[in-house]
Amino acid sequence: MSKVTTLNEFIMDRQHDFAYATGELSRLLNDISVASKIVTRDVRRAGLVDAIQGAQGGMNIQGEAQQKLDVIADNQFIKMFEAGGEVCGIASEENDDFVAFDSDFSKKGKYVVLFDPLDGSSNIDVNVSIGTIFSIYRRTSKVGESATIEDMLQSGAEQIAAGYVLYGSSTMLVYTTGFGVNGFTLDPSIGEYCLSHPNMRMPELGRQYSMNEGNIKVSEKGIQDYIAYCQETDPATNRPYSGRYIGSLVADFHRSLIKGGIYIYPDTPSHPEGRLRLIYECNPLAFIAEQAGGLATTGRKRVLDIKPEKLHQRIPFIIGSKKMVERVVNLIEKASTVEQ
Ligand code: AHM
Ligand code: MG
């Protein structure tokens, strides 16, 4: 019988991969895994506990109804980061502003974490998969001082680690530190994440596309042309492709990562800058996609090259298998040239 590798063992074994490794990043990844196990427990009980499920009554900064579990997950991760000592500050999709931890202990932390505690939370009530997405940067401000907004607004290319937790039929944690992507499945019987998907590679071409097609008529021409391409019949290229849209980014992305595919959320009249948030959702998944051989773009620019201007910035987002993303980008370019 082959030996099971737990996430902890794996993180420790890989510690030498990090520049200036002193164990802090390893401890931080471990903190994330512990917090995600607590959130897993809460997510699994959500249908049972009326007090947990349902709208909190508040609105987040983007005017969306906050679900109770969003708030619970947010608090859980923040508590863990504040207590750990590796992190000097955080920014979260659920909070209007970033939080600089004020104890001397935390001010010595070298890292900041940007995260979406519970993505796809409008799906909680209907029992569909949801996820946590996180992104880790080295601070640019001085160790010992308070974290600054500049620490939070680094371009995605500066990430030193990123990952997501998918609360699906099983809980999975997938992460990268820039040396490939590895996936771990939580074994509830022993409470450990076990290496189940080593060295994940995204197939160069898939045959599933993922988009809220309710938006197709209000999308730009290049996107319309690509969806039309996906729907055309051509046995030689295995088309038509299948449409698959869960409406939970982590779950839709996870499927593309494993099977090959593409996820598209363009700008629309109701979301003129795009729907998804650059620093909490797009950057971490873009880092993972590229590490697995895929691509992530706005349609005009590589996501990881964008310098964020504000915390809750949104962008049009296209992510997935290399050849599929390249095709959309070409069609967008072509449509824009014709328009000029
Ligand atoms: P959230 O962070 O408020 O949950 O919003 C992000 C979610 C993504 O998970 C999902 O892909 C998208 O919003 C769905 O949007 P829509 O309902 O417009 O298709
Ligand atoms: Mg989200």
- Domain coordinates in residue numbering, the chain: 7-197, 208-339
Biggest CA-to-CA distance, the chain: 64
Q: How confident is the model at residue 247 (pLDDT cuts 50, 70, 90)?
A: very high
Spatial CB neighbours of 226, under 8 Å, sequence gap ≥ 6? 264, 327, 328, 331
pLDDT tens digit sequence for 156-189? 999 999 999 999 999 999 999 999 999 999 999 9
For the segment 214-243, what is each residue's pLDDT rounded down to a tens digit? 999 999 999 999 999 999 999 999 999 999
Q: Is ligand 1 within 6 A of the CB of residue 213?
A: no
**Axis-axis angle for helices 322-339, 221-231 (nearest 10):** 130
pLDDT at 50: 56
pLDDT band at 340 (very low <50, low <70, confident <90, very high): low
Q: What is the best residue among 275, 280, 311, 313 to mutate for testing ligand 1's pocket, by most ligand atoms within 8 Å of CB?
A: 275
Reading the block at residue 69, the tokens are 């579990």
Contact 233, 200 (CB under 8 A): no
Read off the pLDDT of residues 108-118 as tens digits, 9 standing for 90 and up: 999 999 999 99
Is 275 near ligand 1, meaning CB less than 6 Å away?
yes
Kindly give the distance from the C-alpha atom of residue 81 to the centroid of ligand 1, in angstroms, as a whole number.
25
Residue nearest to atom 14 of ligand 1 (CA): 247
Nearest CA to ligand 1 atom 18: 212
Q: Place 123 in a pLDDT band, splitting at 50, 70 and 90.
A: confident
Cα–Cα separations (whole angstroms), residue 52 to 68, 124, 281: 6, 11, 24
Mean pLDDT of 290-297: 98
49-63, 86-100, 207-221, 262-276: lowest mean pLDDT where?
49-63
* Residue range 7-197 in CATH 3.40.50.620: no
- Which residue owns the Cα nearest ligand 1 atom 2? 119
Would you say the CB of residue 119 lies under 6 angstroms from ligand 1? yes
Name the band, by pLDDT with cuts 50, 70 and 90, for residue 13: confident
Say if residue 49's pLDDT is above 70.
no
Q: Is 212 in the pocket of ligand 1 (CB under 6 A)?
A: yes
Fold of domain 208-339: D-Maltodextrin-Binding Protein; domain 2 (3.40.190)
| Tens digits of residue pLDDT in 128-138 | 999 999 999 99
Is any ligand 1 atom within 6 A of the Cβ of residue 254? no
Q: How many A from CA of 291 to the centre of ligand 1?
A: 24
> Which segments of 68-208 does DSSP mark as H helices, in order?
68-84, 104-107, 149-152
For ligand 1, is residue 116 a contact (CB within 6 Å)?
yes
